[in-house]
Structure 1
Amino acid sequence: MLDAIVWVFQNIGLAFYNLGYALTHPQLWLDWSDKTSIMRFVYYGGSVEFFFVVFTTFLVFTAIGLWKNEFMWGCVRVLEGFANTVGRTVAWVGLLMVLQQIIIVFIQRIFARPDIVFGFGIPLQFDISWYAEELKLYNALVVCLCATYTFVQGGHVRVDLVYSAVSFRTKRVIDMFGSLIFMMPVAVLTWMYGWYFMWRHLITPNPSASDTLERLILKARAVRWNVETIGFSPNGFNGYFLFKILLISFTAMVFLHAVAFFYRSYLEWKEGPESENKYLDRDSLGEGEEAYEGTH
C-alpha cells in the first residue's frame, strides 16, 4: 500500500518534468517524417506518463479553483463553451445526412444511375452504395461530437429514483460523485482501449498497449502507414478508420466535460441555489418555449 502511494506521488512529481520536456522538445513526438516520432506519439498517447500529466493538470486547476472560485467558473465557461460550439456546428451534419439521402433516392430510383460523379477538374466518382454507407459516418459524427453539447443542454434522459427527491446541495454532491467515479474513469478506460485500437488501423507493425517505449522505437524501423480502407461491401464506404478517430475524440470530450460538470456542481453546492445554472448557455426555442417543454 505504501509503495502504491509513493508511486502515485512520484508520478505526480514527474508529470511537471514530462510536460515541460514534451513542450520544449516537440520535434521528438510531432515530427512524423521521423518514424521514431510516430512511435513516441503512439506510446505516450496511451501511457502512464500521459495519464499523470492530465491528472496533475486537473489537480493544479482544481487547487487554483478552490482558492479562487472565479477561475473555476472561467474553466466551466470555457469547457461548456467548447462543448456547445462543437455540438452546434456538428449538428448541421444531420441536415447534410438528410439531403444526401434524398439525392441517393433520386439518383438511384429516378435516374437509375449506379454512381454519383462530381467533376471539379478531377472527377470524383463513387458507387451509390459508398454514399449510402457514408451516412453511418454522419450519424457517428452527431453521436460522438454532440454528446457533451446535449449534456450541457440537459437533453440526456435520466432516471430519477433518488435525485429528484433530495435537496439542492445533495443533488450537487451526487453530481460531483458521478463526475469523479463514473464519467472520468469510464472516459479514461475507453481512451486507453480506443487509442491502440485506432493506431492498429493506421500503421504497421501493430502497436500494443503492453509494448514499452523501447520496443516501439525498435519497431519504428519497419513502421509504415497502413490506413484502413476496407469496406463492408465491394464498392462501399472505405473510411472506417474515421470511426476510430471519432471514438478517441468522443472520450476526450467526455473527460473534459466531466471536469466542467464537477466544477459546476462544486460551485453550485458552495454558492447555493442562487447560483444554479450560472453562466449556463442553453439554446432557446424563443417565445412559448415553456409551453413546448411542458408537453415533453
Structure 2
Amino acid sequence: MKRILDLVVLPGKWVGWLVLPLILSVCLTVLAARMGWNAFVRWDQALPVLGRGITVNTLADLQWYIFAIVAIFGGVYAFRDGQHVSVDVFSAGLPRRVQLGMRLFGDLVFLLPFCAIIFWYGWSFALTSFNSGEGSTYGGLMNRWLIKSIIPIGFALLGIAAITRAITTIGEILHPAATDETTSQ
C-alpha cells in the first residue's frame, strides 16, 4: 500500500518546484504593470498553450494555472501525510479503534463519493473545453483543457489515496497488534 501512495503523491512532490516560476511570474507582472508593458514577446504563428505571444495576461493565466496545479496535487500529498484539514476535535479523546472507524467512515462516506463526483464532472468539463478549443479571449494562455484536465486527474489520485488509506485502516482495525508492532519499530 505504501508504494501505491508513493506513486499517487509523486505529482505533488514534483509540482512543489512550480512555486519558483510562480514567484517569477508575479514579479514580472508587477514590473510590467509598473513599467507600462503589455507584451513581452510576440510571434506570427500560434504555439500550443502560448498562442501568439507572452503578455501580462499570459503571466496572469500562468499564475492561476500554477496555483491550481500546486493546490490539487499538493492536496493529495498532504492527505497522504496526514497534513490535510481534519476534524480531530471530535475523536481526540476516543480509543484508537473508534478513531480509525471514524476515519474509515469519513473516507468511504464523504471523501470517496466527493472524489467520484468531482472526477465525473471534471472529466466532462475538460472534455467540453477540449472539444470547443477553449482558450483565452484576452491574450492569455490557450488550450484551457490542459489545466481543466488537472481537476479529474487530481481527484482520481485523491480517490486512489482514499481507497488505499481505507484498506490500510481496515487492516489496522482488524489487526491492531500488527500495526502497533510496525509503528514502534
Asked if 1:173 corresponds to 2:77, the answer is no
Matched to 2:151, the amino acid is L
How many positions carry a matched residue from both structures?
177
- TM-score of the superposition, structure 2-length normalised? 0.82
Which of 138, 141, 146 aligns to 1:242? It is 146
The reply on whether 1:160 has 2:64 as its aligned counterpart is no
Structure with larger Rg: 1
Equivalent position SS for 2:92:
helix
Higher relative contact order (CA 8 A, sep 6+): 2
Query: In structure 2, what is the Cα distance between the partners aligned to 1:247 and 1:181?
Result: 21
Whether 2:129 is the aligned partner of 1:129: answer: no
Q: Distance in 1 between matches of 2:30 and 2:113?
A: 44
Deviation of the 1:275 alpha carbon: 2.0
Q: Which runs of 5+ in 1 are unaligned?
A: 1-75, 204-225, 280-296
Q: Identity over the aligned pairs, expressed in percent?
A: 20
- Residue of structure 2 in register with 1:95 after alignment: 20
Shift of residue 107, structure 1, vs aligned partner: 4.0
Cα-to-partner distance string for 1:6-63 (whole Å, 9 max, x where unaligned): xxxxxxxxxxxxxxxxxxxxxxxxxxxxxxxxxxxxxxxxxxxxxxxxxxxxxxxxxx
Aligned match of 1:230: 136
Letter in 2 for 1:99: L
Deviation at 1:259, TM superposition (A): 0.9
Greater share of helix residues, 1 or 2? 2
1:189-200 matches, cutoff 5 A? 189-200=117-128
Question: CA, structure 1 residues 84+197, in 2 after alignment: closer, same or farther (shift >3 Å)?
Answer: closer
Decide whether aligned partners of structure 1 residues 258 and 127 sit closer, same or farther in structure 2, where only a CA change above 3 A counts.
Answer: same
Q: Deviation at 1:133?
A: 2.3
Q: 1:268 to 1:185 in 2, by over 3 A?
A: same
Deviations 1:147-168 (A, max 9, x none): 1101122221222342111111
Q: 1:251 aligns with which of 137, 155, 158?
A: 155
176 and 159 in structure 1: CA distance in 2 versus 1, 3 angstrom threshold: closer
SS of 1:178 mapped into structure 2: helix
Residue 77 of structure 1: how far off its partner (Å): 0.9
| TM-score in terms of structure 1 length | 0.53
Residues 92, 242 of structure 1: alpha-carbon distance in 2 compared, 3 angstrom cutoff: same
Q: Is the 8 A contact 2:127 2:145 kept in 1?
A: no
Look up the match of 2:72: 144
Structure 1 residues 277 and 161: CA distance shift in structure 2, 3 A: farther
Q: Which amino acid aligns with 1:171?
A: Q
Alpha carbons of structure 1 residues 199 and 164: separation in structure 2 relative to 1, 3 Å:
same
Matches within 5 A, 1:1-296: 76-110=1-35, 112-117=36-41, 125-203=53-131, 226-231=132-137, 234-272=138-176, 275=179
Alpha-carbon distance in structure 2 between the residues aligned to 1:184 and 1:159: 17
* Contact map agreement 2:130 2:143 (CA 8 A) in 1: no
1:174-204 deviation digits (Å, cap 9, x = unpaired): 111122111111111222222222212222x
Report the Cα distance in structure 2 between the residues aligned to 1:246 and 1:236, rounded to whole angstroms.
18
Question: Is 2:129–2:144's contact at 8 Å kept on the other side of the alignment?
Answer: no
Structure 1 consecutive aligned stretches of length 4 or more whose deviation exceeds 6 Å: none
1: CA distance, partners of 2:182 / 2:76: 18
Change in Cα spacing, 1:273 to 1:143, as seen in structure 2 (3 Å) is farther
Q: 1:170 to 1:179 in 2, by over 3 A?
A: same
CA distance 1:164–1:277, change in 2 (3 Å): farther
Give the drift of 1:172: 1.1
Aligned residues: CA RMSD: 2.7
1:243 CA displacement: 3.0
